Amino acid sequence: MNSAKLLLLTAYLLTGLTVSARTITVCNSCEIRTIKEGIALASDFDTLLIKKGTYNEYDILIDKPLTLLGEGYPKIDGQRKGEIIRVTADNVTLDGLFLVNVGTSYTRDYAAVRIVKSKNFLIKNLVLEKLFFGIYLEKSSHGQVLYNRIIGDAVNEHSSGNGIQLWYSQNVVIEDNYITHVRDGIYLEFANNCSIKRNTSTNNLRYGLHFMFSNDDLYEENVFENNGAGVAVMFSKRIKMLNNTFKKNWGTASYGLLLKEINDAEIVGNNFEKNTIGISIEGSNRVTYRKNDFNNNGWAIKVRGACYTNNFIKNNFLHNSFDVSYNSKINDNQFDQNYWSKYTGYDLDKDGIGDVPYRPVKLFSYVVNRTPETIILMRSLFIDIIDFSEKVSPVFTPDNLLDPHPLMKRNR
Amino acid sequence: MLKILKYSFYDLVRSRWSYVYLLFYLLLGIVLLFLNNDLSKAVITLMNVIIVLVPLIGTIFGVMYYYSSKEFTELLLAQPIRRSSIFLGQYLGVALSLSMSLIIGLGLPFIFYGLLRSDAIWDFSLLLVTGIFLTLIFTALAFNIALYHENKIKGFSYAILLWLFMAVIYDGLFLMSLIIFEAYPLDTFSLGATMLNPIDLSRILILLKLDISALLGYTGAVFQKFFGTAWGLVLSFSALAIWFLLPTYNIYRKSKRKDF
Amino acid sequence: MIAIKDLHKRFGKNQVLKGIDLDIGKGGIFAVLGPNGSGKTTLIKCILGMVIPNSGDILVDNSAVRNNWKYRRQIDYLPQIANFPGNLTVAELIRMIKNLRGQQGNDAPLVEAFHLEPFLDKRLGNLSGGTKQKVNLVLAFMFNSPLIILDEPTAGLDPVAMLYLKELIHKEREKGKTILITSHIMGFVEEVAEEIVFLLEGRVYFKGNIAALMEKTQQNDFQHAIATLLKENNA
């Protein structure tokens, strides 16, 4: 008893709130039966305790700093009529709610939760189902989105929304969310200095994670599996991509990671496994690729267009159908000390580095770029022969594209 | 037929060449597994060996066995035995003894390595099944060639040429036609062309296992269906079965009409 | 035993048999002779069903040869070149042929007579030509078939084995069997044959016993008689 009181007191002191903060209980059989009523009655920094039950409400506007705390996952049913919760005040916390049936519209992006021009929000432990957009952060900053489960039922791209969308939002932390069956799992547009960690984004129609015009973001230890494509990073600068898993992103022009017009990024310690293309790179410069694993992909790295001063160092290329593919003869990228499972050279001085350089670009990958049907001839003796002759004297592939120090054993 | 099969089989099982063949596979398996310790890499190298070497050995052994046992065949022909039984029996004897060498030679090292507890067992079994199919097909083709050519040198040359054509030249022509006609939709053509060459067929079966990620990147609807569903597997195996049945039937047909 | 009617066989452009009519009765030793390329071997192979004639009929013991294989149970055949699977031993080969024919063979006395016991466990690939021919003879004589066809039976035999072979042929003859022989050794033919069938350019040029042949050629020596037949042909 005493210790509980003490805890409460400390909490009050720590948050520095006025002692007058109250808890208002909302339930189906209480005096206050709707959330809207509760909000109307509440004053700043109050907590609305929402008990288990079903609340058929939509367009709930939170315009003062409140905490909405669900008990036993109360279900707030938007009946497909519109947005469910809209937040326009700073310091709002949403915790433990079950939001379903967001309205679908072709003219307005209805979201289960929309935060507009607000700061210091905390959205956690929400479960969202049957949604259009999930959590939409609009011109908001310094907030957190944690431990949410967003389960959509998207069928086609134009009539579906994104799981978590950031638009002109800065300094947001997105962690430990699970997002599935929406258009883009997480979408960032003009969102800077965000941190995205330990999320799982699978079975989404378009991308697991999508950056547009967003700079200085970090994403780490996320899993992107079986999406239309894993992660697309476009027109963005200084993005850090660390220790993520990109898996089974299969299909025409599908990839684990797409880099388009990306400069100064860092891609370290990621695992690309069984994607049609591991990383597809267009017009990206000064990107460092280090200690990534490329395992059983169709193409580990596909370079299109001009890409300059990129460094590929100490990566593992394991059993990919094609390790590196280029569509031009120009190369200004550096490959060094990678492990290539296809390397057949020797290491006479036993320093762990192969004595013969490795050429990761095969003539056949050039042929397949030109005439895709030829892929059916992969691994035939004839292809081996032409690849070998190209290896001996490169004609079609960049002759300076080689790893001068291929490793004999994979990097761990 | 079974009697002939049995005798041909025993005869071959005791021949020096069977041992050489068996030993070669044993050695290959051991080298692949114990010198580089990477099972999936070993499976890929094995695939290359199987789709190139197995047809070669099958053709050469087939032709060789036919010619070297010619006099004995004549002795058999004078016995009260059905003609087709003699040739089908001999053919299956050769094909089975070659398949045995393949299975034992590659199987033993892989079992010792701990294949049975590994995920690669399906890839490996697929390899062996295709290897057996290729042995059956190319031995049958070799017997056909030999049945049509009394001249040993001619028969051998045709057999080698057949192998060279199927293993290398065919794919070269195939690639060229794909590049020349690249403006047209080619997926039906390329799948069709694949079905017409048992080596390509076996290769596709293995690609379906090893390179599915890349294959699924191709746009054509026909490819998508072929590679993305069980269709590819079913179709390829049926085509291989036809490739086995047709030459075998022709051995039966030709052997009934031939003069000795 | 054998009835051949209007038998034709062509290999490509080469017409080898040009209408052979031949009746070979039950019992007797028949020598099929003729110059090289006269169609001896082709005729024998037709009887055995190894060569399929273009036209004409062959009946062996009243059953047609065409598309049939069961009639070969009535025939023992000694092929010209004895070449066996090199990896089998002699004993295995004998066992195998017995197994294939599904008949009991009486091989033991033959093996003994040809002194083959020391070779029984040897591989056929390691045997000399003469020894192989002896094995060949064992295979041909070990079954008790009513028709025996011997293609060049004397090839590579030493005099002792030759002697035994003649003895064997006579013994079989006494059992009432029909024996068909081709040979280039005229001495041997003269010694064993009761009747001569002389083939020339794909036809039966002469059929009859040795006395009739000498009469026809007006020679008193068998070898000369044959030579005369050949000369007549060349002239």
Helix H, strand E, coil C: the string for chain B is CHHHHHHHHHHHHCCHHHHHHHHHHHHHHHHHHHHHCCHHHHHHHHHHHHHHHHHHHHHHHHHHHHHHCHHHHHHHHCCCCCHHHHHHHHHHHHHHHHHHHHHHHHHHHHHHHCHHHCCCHHHHHHHHHHHHHHHHHHHHHHHHHHHHCCCHHHHHHHHHHHHHHHHHHHHHHHHHHHHHCCCCCCHHHHHHHHHCCHHHHHHHHHHHHHCHHHHCCCCCHHHHHHHHCCHHHHHHHHHHHHHHHHHHHHHHHHHHHCCC
pLDDT digits (tens, 9 = 90+) for A13-68: 555 444 467 899 998 888 899 999 999 999 999 999 999 999 999 999 999 999 99
Q: How many CB pairs under 8 A join B and C?
A: 71
Digit-coded pLDDT (tens) for A355-368: 999 988 888 888 88
Using the beta-carbon criterion (under 8 Å), do C79 and B71 form an inter-chain contact? yes
On whether the CB atoms of residues A94 and A128 are closer than 8 A, the answer is no
In CATH, what number is assigned to the domain containing residue C207? 3.40.50.300
Number of structural domains chain A divides into = 2
Buried b (16+ CB within 10 A) or exposed e, A225-257: bbbbbbbbbbebbbbebbbbbbbbbbbeebbbb
- Which structural domain range is residue A249 located in? 228-412
For residue A370, list chain B residues with Cβ-Cβ distance below 8 A. Answer: 179, 182
Same domain, A210 and A249: no
**Domain end position, chosen among A167, A190, A214:** A214
Regarding whether A241 and A141 lie in a shared domain, the answer is no
B210 to A319: CB separation less than 8 angstroms, yes or no:
yes
Provide the shortest C-alpha distance from residue C119 to chain B (in Å): 18
Cross-chain residue pair B213–A341, CB shorter than 8 Å: no
Q: Are residues A112 and A235 in the same domain?
A: no
> What domain range includes position C171?
2-234
Q: What is the CATH number of the domain that holds A54?
A: 2.160.20.10
Select from B79, B257, B259 the Cβ nearest to the Cβ of C101: B79
Residues C1-47 pLDDT 10s: 888 888 888 888 888 888 888 888 888 899 988 888 788 888 888 88
To the nearest 10°, the Cα dihedral for C108, C111, C116, C119?
-50
Q: Report the candidate in A363, A356, A354, A359 with the shortest Cα–Cα distance to residue A335.
A: A359
Are both A143 and A242 inside the same structural domain? no
For A274, which residue in chain B has the nearest alpha carbon?
A: B213
Buried b (16+ CB within 10 A) or exposed e, C45-57: bbbbbbbbbeebe
Per the structure, the count of domains in chain C is 1
pLDDT at C82: 65
CA distance B138 to A6: 86
Decide which of C139 and B41 is more confident: C139
Cβ contacts (< 8 Å) between B187 and chain A: which residues? 373
Instruction: Report the pLDDT averaged over residues C157-175.
Output: 88
Rounded to the nearest 5 degrees, what angle is found at the Cα of C77, between the Cα atoms of C3 and C115? 150
Domain assignment present for residue A14? The answer is no
In tens, the pLDDT along A261-310 reads: 999 999 999 999 999 999 999 999 999 999 999 998 989 999 988 888 99
Q: Does A13 reside within a domain?
A: no
Taking a C-beta distance cutoff of 8 angstroms, is the pair A97, A78 a contact? no
Same domain, A338 and A203: no
Pair (A76, A156) in one structural domain? yes
pLDDT for C235 equals: 47
Place of tokens 């031995």: B139
The vertex-C111 CA angle with C109 and C115, nearest 5°, equals: 115
* pTM for this prediction: 0.81
Residue A1 belongs to a domain: no
Q: Is the pLDDT of residue A12 over 60?
A: no
CA distance A267 to chain B (A): 22
pLDDT score for B219: 67
- The per-residue pLDDT for range C44-90, each reduced to its tens digit, is 888 888 888 888 888 888 888 877 888 888 888 888 766 777 777 88
DSSP output for A246-275: EE---STT--SEEEES-BS-EEES-EEES-
Chains that touch C (3 or more CB pairs under 8 A): B
Do A57 and A158 lie in one domain? The reply is yes
* Nearest-5° Cα angle at A74, A68 to A77: 100
Q: In this predicted structure, what is the pLDDT of residue B241?
A: 94
Task: Flag if A381 and B216 touch (Cβ within 8 Å).
Answer: no
Same domain, A265 and A302: yes
